[in-house]
Amino acid sequence: MEASSENNDNYVAVRPLTNGTYLQKYTGKAVTLVGVVILVNPNGMSFDLKTPDLQIVTVQMRKPLKEPVSGLVEVQGIVSGRNNIICDYYLVFAKEIADTYDQDLTNETIQIIQNVPNAWTGD
């Protein structure tokens, strides 16, 4: 899958990795969310993910899905409310990667990132 941007600026937007518990904290902001697809709406305009902390998040598509979506998925998008995200980009992981995915480790990492004021500078 290829990522695309509406402008040609030479920077990458910061999209913090989060889970269902912390999602509402980012309402109106861009985030990255990883989870397992549990339900795809038949019209292709949304799907539900189970996040590493076992929350259910609805991913709203801007355009209908053109391919099947299942298994482990990373979603980048804008949080639109409690347990809802508007998808800008998604990536379905290969089965080989999904089979070795450790949701508990991901959840622990997210908790550390969320609870340390600036985890990347050591301040």
- Please write the tens of the pLDDT for every residue from 67-114: 999 999 999 999 998 899 999 999 999 999 999 999 999 999 888 888
Share of the chain above pLDDT 90, in %: 71
In a domain, 92, yes or no: yes
Instruction: CATH number of the domain at 88, please.
Output: 2.40.50.140
- Please write the tens of the pLDDT for every residue from 75-84: 999 999 889 9
Domain that holds residue 90: 17-97
Which tokens go with 22?
């912390």
DSSP string, 44-66: SSEEEEE-TTS-EEEEE-SS--S
In a domain, 40, yes or no: yes
Mean pLDDT computed over every residue of the chain:
87
Task: Read off the amino acid at residue 33.
Answer: L
In a domain, 119, yes or no: no
Q: How is residue 37 annotated by DSSP? A: E
pLDDT at 6: 38
Work out the pLDDT band at 123, boundaries 50, 70, 90.
low
In a domain, 54, yes or no: yes
pLDDT at 48: 98
Which tokens go with 9?
């600026």
In a domain, 104, yes or no: no
**Number of domains forming the structure of the chain:** 1
